[in-house]
């Protein structure tokens, strides 16, 4: 149960950071925390006690292994997450260039 | 919205989401007791069917390969977004090439030595992880990440990222396109030969050898190229911004 609670906690604490953020770069990092909660949740769902990694290189076929599907999902997600973070950071950079601020609260009106 | 009202709105939502999360995971199998069946089916069948001892790699690039093609294009689109957002604006100066094309700071000797010492092992490790993707933990995504981090070490050492007078974007964009297109092209080979996208048409090879897994090693190389080149493109764009800023 503890890993599930950890995932819920990471999700909520990241979301708290996003809502109360005073800096766009901090906000992007908080979003990464929210995303990492999904990794914890998915990996926890596929975990199995006393089992090996789903790599059958040095173990006999049929050894009890954890769920490989969960790991496959998470690994692509992590890599895509890094690049999406880069995209968000470049948005923050553009906001700073155009408005001279990184405070989300300072941006009131939509500007074209 | 004031901070206070925002916090109240957040608290209401957070309590709701938190309750839903706990309620949802309470019905999940207890931690450490995965019930299957899909993972067990893959664990039993990936080696006989695909001769790939890294079951995760076989799932990522074969069993759910078409899904990974989609994920890869999210990555592709995000890198394109970074390039478009950080393009040089009309009112910004062109960064000078040559000697001026260096970071506007001088790193300490410790950082320089550590970064340059780690460079060759990082490249080698990246290539190893890509090449052995079907055998041991690793694959195109992980290896590409490590390869993409190698130029970051050069940058940390305070050196020019690439040849000072040549624009590196051309080859990098070509590499990224080749990687992304290569994955789809490999899939199309399966589609034309057997009628199913990404269906394996290559000899499966001996289990445990580096060329085992049919088309999986080729896909690992294509994805490694795409991820590595994409990361370097993003890094290069951000570096260009620090140079603009450093010149004021």
DSSP assignment of B100-120, as one string?
A: G-S-SS---HHHHHHHHHHHH
Of the ranges A37-46, B28-37, B95-104, B196-205, which one carries the lowest mean pLDDT score? B95-104
The reported pLDDT for the residue numbered B99 is 44
**Number of domains into which chain A is organized:** 1
- Residue B95 to residue B106: CA distance in whole angstroms: 18
pLDDT in tens, B141-173: 999 999 998 988 888 887 665 556 667 788 889
B56 → closest Cβ in A49, A71, A94: A71
How confident is residue B130, by pLDDT bands cut at 50, 70 and 90? very high
Of the ranges A39-53, A94-108, B84-98, B186-200, which one carries the lowest mean pLDDT score? B84-98
pLDDT in tens, A67-76: 999 999 999 8
Of the ranges A9-23, A98-112, B26-40, B194-208, which one carries the lowest mean pLDDT score? A98-112
- Closest-CA residue to A81 (of A13, A45, A47, A31): A31
The reported pLDDT for the residue numbered B38 is 87
The reported pLDDT for the residue numbered B160 is 61
- Closest-CA residue to B135 (of B59, B234, B212): B212
CATH code assigned at A15: 1.10.287.3510
For the ranges B52-66, B147-161, B200-214, the one whose mean pLDDT is highest: B52-66
The residue segments making up the domain with residue A30 are 2-107
Is the residue at A95 inside a domain? yes
CA-based radius of gyration for chain A: 19
- Residues in A 69-98 with any Cβ partner in B closer than 8 A: 69-72, 75-77, 79-80, 82-84, 86-87, 89-91, 93-94, 97
The three-class DSSP label of residue B54 is: strand
Total Cβ atoms within 10 A of residue B73:
16
DSSP assignment of chain A, as one string?
A: -HHHHHHHHHHHHHHHHHHH-SSHHHHHHHHHHHHHHHHHHHHHHH-BTT-B-SB-SSS-TT--B--HHHHHHHHHHHHHHHHHHHHHHHHHHHHHHHHS---GGG--S---
How confident is residue B248, by pLDDT bands cut at 50, 70 and 90? very low
CB contact, 8 Å: B53 with chain A? yes
What mean pLDDT is reported for chain B? Answer: 85
Query: Are B137 and A53 in contact (CB < 8 Å)?
Result: yes
pTM exceeding 0.90: no
Residue B112 Ramachandran class (φ > 0 left, ψ -120 to 50 alpha, else beta): alpha
Identify the residue among A25, A67, A92, A107 best suited for mutation to test binding to B, counting B beta carbons within 10 A and taking the highest: A67
The reported pLDDT for the residue numbered B98 is 47
B21 → closest Cβ in A11, A44, A71: A11
For the question of an ipTM over 0.90, the answer is no
* Domain map (residue ranges) of chain B: 36-246
Is the residue at A6 inside a domain? yes
Element (H, E) at B137: none
Tallying the residues shown for chain B, one arrives at 248
């Amino acid at each position: 149960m503890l890993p599930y609670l950890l995932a819920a906690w990471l999700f909520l604490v990241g979301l708290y950071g996003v809502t109360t953020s005073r800096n766009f770069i901090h906000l992007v990092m908080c979003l990464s925390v929210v995303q990492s909660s999904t990794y914890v949740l998915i990996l926890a769902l596929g975990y199995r006690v006393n089992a090996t990694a789903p790599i059958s290189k040095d173990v006999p076929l049929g050894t009890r292994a954890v769920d490989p599907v969960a790991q496959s999902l998470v690994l692509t997600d992590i890599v895509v997450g890094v690049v999406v973070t880069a995209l968000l950071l470049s948005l923050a950079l553009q906001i700073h260039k155009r408005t001279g601020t990184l405070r989300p609260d300072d941006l009131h009106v939509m500007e074209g | 919205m004031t901070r206070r009202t925002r916090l109240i709105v957040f608290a209401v939502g957070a309590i709701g989401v938190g309750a839903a999360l706990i309620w949802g995971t309470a019905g999940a199998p207890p931690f450490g007791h995965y019930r299957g069946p899909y993972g067990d089916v893959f664990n039993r069948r990936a080696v006989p069917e695909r001769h790939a001892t890294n079951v995760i790699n076989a799932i990522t690039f074969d069993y759910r390969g078409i899904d990974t093609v989609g994920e890869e294009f999210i990555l592709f689109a995000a890198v394109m977004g970074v390039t478009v957002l950080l393009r040089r604006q009309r009112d910004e100066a062109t960064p000078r090439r040559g000697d001026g094309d260096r970071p506007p700071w001088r790193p300490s000797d410790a950082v320089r030595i550590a970064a340059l010492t780690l460079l060759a092992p990082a490249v080698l490790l990246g290539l190893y992880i890509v090449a052995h993707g079907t055998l041991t933990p690793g694959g195109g995504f992980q290896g590409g990440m490590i390869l993409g981090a190698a130029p970051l070490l050069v940058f940390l050492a305070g050196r020019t990222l690439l040849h000072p007078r040549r624009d590196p974007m051309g080859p990098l964009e070509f590499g990224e396109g080749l990687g992304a297109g290569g994955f789809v092209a490999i899939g199309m080979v399966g589609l034309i030969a057997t009628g199913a996208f990404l269906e394996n048409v290559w000899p499966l090879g001996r289990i445990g050898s580096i060329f085992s897994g049919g088309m999986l090693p080729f896909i690992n190389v294509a994805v490694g190229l795409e991820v590595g080149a994409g990361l370097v493109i993003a890094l290069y764009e951000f570096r260009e911004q620090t140079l603009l800023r450093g010149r004021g």
